[in-house]
Amino acid sequence: MQSEASSRGDLTDVSIADNEDTIEQLKELRFNEKNLIIYSPPGTNDELSARYLYSFAFATFKRRSPGFIQDLVTCLRIREPEIIKECGDYAHFDLKRTIWSLELLREEMINNEEFQIFRVKAPDTESWNAFLMGLTEDRRQWFSAVWIHAECYMYRRIWSIFQRSDTLANYDYFGDQKMSATRNLTPMMRGILVATRKLMRRKNNFQHLLKLSTWGNRCDLSITTKGPDANIFHRISEYDADLLADQSANIWEDLTEACEPIYVDIVCDNAGFELFTDLLLAEYIIESGLARRVRFHVKAIPWFISDVTHQDFNWMLNYFRKHEFKEFRAFGRRIHGYIRDRSFILCDKSYFWTSGYDCSQMKRMQPCLYVYISEAALVIFKGDLNYRKLLGDINYNSTDKFSDCLRGFQPTSVCALRAIKSDIYCGLPVCTVEWLTEDNPEWMISGEKAVIQVAIKHRLSGDIIV
C-alpha cells in the first residue's frame, strides 16, 4: 500500500511539473506572438535585435539582463552596511528608493515596455533624449530596438536611478567587483610584469604584447568571472589557433611607417587585468619609440559592469604605487611619470562612449572627439562592445572586409582587439563561421575566439600638433 501511495505521489509530482512546464511554454508563445518575435535568423545587413528568437540579443533581454538587475538588487541589500559607511546614514533611505526603481526597470524589460526619456539632469541627458526621440516607434522597446541601443539604454537607466539621490550619485555600484577581480589576479600579473621588462624594439615583441592585450579582453565581468590562463604570457603563441584574424603585422608596419608626431589612442574596455595588459602595451609603445604619446579613452560612468572609468584607472595606478611587491611599485612610478610628462594622457570625460550612437555617427554628434582621434596615427578599440559600436550591430557577412563594415568611420587607422562574445563579426576567412558553428553553436559568445583587425589610413602630413 505504501508503495502504491508513493507511486501515486511520484506521478502527481510529475503531472504538476509537466503542467507547470506547459503553462510556461504557453506564456512564452503568447509573449512571442504579442511582441512579433521572429523565428528565423537575421538576414544579411539586418540590425541585430532581441526580436530574433535564436539570437544572443533575445537571450540577453529574456534571461541575462533581468537576472543581472536582480543580482544587483541582491548585492545592494547585502552591502547596505558598507554603503551606509561609505555614503552616509541617509543612504539607507536612498537605497530603498533605488532598489524599487531597479525592480521597476526589470519589470519594464520583462514586459517589453517602451523606453522612457531621462528626467534627471546630467551632462548627457539632452543628447540621450534626442537619441531616443530620433528612434522610430518600433525601435523604442526592449525586444525590437537595435540590440546595442537597448543595452546602452539599460546601463544609462541604471546610472540615472543612482543619480536621483545625493548620497549615491557618486557611488560606483560595480566598483567592488572590479577591485576584487584585480586583487585576485595580482600574483599572475606580477609574473607577467617581470617577464615584460626591457623588451627590445622588435616586431615579434610588439605582436606578443598586442596579442596579450587582445586576450586580456576575455576578463569581462558581464560575461564571465573566469580568470585568464596563469601562463598566458608565455603561451601566447599557442592561442594563435583561436585568433580568427591576425593583422598584428600590418599594425606594426603602420606604426613604423607613420609620420611624426605619432600618437596612439586606446579606447579601453575592461578594468582590472585587461587594463593592466593595455598599460603594458602602452608602456612598450613609448619605451620602444613607436609613438610619442598614448592617450586612453575610458567611460564617463559605470558601464557594462567591468568597463574602465576614470576612477578605476586612477585606482589601479595607486594600487600599483602602494603595493607590497616592488615590481608593482616600480611599474606604478613609471606610469605616473608617463602621465606627468604627458607620454600618457587620460583623456577628459566623453559621454559619446556611453551614448546610444555608434562610431559612424561620431563625426556628426561629437565632431571635437572625431578631430581629436584623427590626430592619432592609430586608434585601438578594445573589446566586444567597442567592436559592436564600430559595426553598429549590423549582421554583415562574416567575410566582409573590416574596413567596409566601418561605414565611413575612419578618422585614422582603426584597429580592433576583440575576444568574440556576441554574434556579430566580419573580416573572417571563408567558411570559418560555418565550421565553428557546426562544432559548437555557441562559440561566438564564449570569448574563446578573438580577432586582431585593422583598417589602415595613412596621414597625408606630419605637421599635426596636439
Q: What is the pLDDT of residues 37-54, one digit of tens each?
A: 999 999 999 999 999 999
Asked, for residue 136, whether it belongs to a domain, the answer is: yes
| Same-domain check for residues 284 and 392 | yes
Residues 245 and 376 in one domain: yes
Question: Count of residues for the chain?
Answer: 466
pLDDT score for 465: 45
The CA distance from 187 to 184, in Å, is 8
Spell out where 307-446 has E strands: 344-346, 378-382, 413-419
Alpha carbon of residue 253 to chain centroid:
28
Confidence of residue 233 (pLDDT cuts 50, 70, 90): confident
The rounded distance, in Å, linking the Cα atoms of 80 and 347 is 33
Whether residues 291 and 344 share a domain: the answer is yes
User: 239 and 360 in one domain?
Assistant: yes
Backbone angles phi, psi at 228, to 5 degrees: -75, 165
Q: Does residue 64 sit within a domain?
A: yes
If asked whether residues 382 and 255 sit together in one domain, one would say yes
By three-state DSSP, how is residue 134 classified?
coil
Domain of 206, CATH number, reads 3.40.50.10880
CA separation for the pair 15, 21 (Å, rounded): 10
Which triple of cell numbers denotes residue 272? 582590472
- 36 is a domain residue: no
What is the three-class DSSP state of 374? helix
Same domain, 275 and 398: yes
* Packing angle of the helix pair 326-340, 310-321 (nearest 10 deg): 130
The answer on 366 and 224 residing in a single domain is yes
Kindly state the average pLDDT of the residues 278-298: 98
The pLDDT value recorded for residue 231 is 80
Q: Would you place residue 458 in the very low, low, confident or very high pLDDT band (cuts 50, 70, 90)?
A: confident
Residues 387 and 314 in one domain: yes
132 φψ region: left (φ > 0), alpha (ψ -120 to 50), beta (else): alpha
Range in 59-68, 214-223, 257-266, 270-279 the model is least confident about: 214-223
How would you list the strands of the sheet with 413-419, edge to edge? 243-246, 450-455, 413-419, 378-382, 263-267, 293-297, 344-346
pLDDT digit string, tens, across residues 96-150: 999 999 999 999 999 999 999 999 999 999 999 999 999 999 999 999 999 999 9
For residue 222, what pLDDT is reported?
67
C-alpha cell at 158: 541604471
Q: Could you give the CA distance from residue 276 to residue 281 in angstroms, rounded to a whole number?
A: 9
Q: Which residue bears the cell 547596505?
A: 80
Boundaries of domain holding 89? 56-163
Asked if 401 and 430 touch (Cβ cutoff 8 Å), the reply is no
Q: Are 144 and 35 in contact (CB under 8 A)?
A: yes
Same domain, 132 and 186: no
Confidence bin at 226 (pLDDT 50/70/90): low
Are residue 123 and residue 250 in the same domain, yes or no?
no
Give this prediction's pTM.
0.94
- Residues 444 and 305 placed together within one structural domain of the fold: yes
Mean pLDDT score, 273-279: 97
What is the spatial distance between Cα 308 and Cα 347, in angstroms, rounded to a whole number?
A: 12
The answer to the question of residue 35 being in a domain is: no
CATH number of the domain within which 98 lies: 1.20.930.60
Burial of 235 (0-12, 13-18, 19+ CB in 10 A): exposed
pLDDT at 42: 95
DSSP 8-state secondary structure symbol assigned to residue 359: G
28 assigned to some structural domain:
no
> Of 163, 188, 223, which closes a domain?
163
Whether residue 252 is found in the same domain as residue 156: no
Of 163, 197, 222, the last residue of a domain is: 163
- For residue 413, tell me if it sits in a domain: yes
Distance CA 430, CA 434 (A): 9
What total of structural domains would you count in the chain?
Answer: 2
Per the domain annotation, does 5 fall within a domain? no
Whether 90 is covered by a domain: the verdict is yes
Which of 133, 163, 193 terminates a domain? The answer is 163
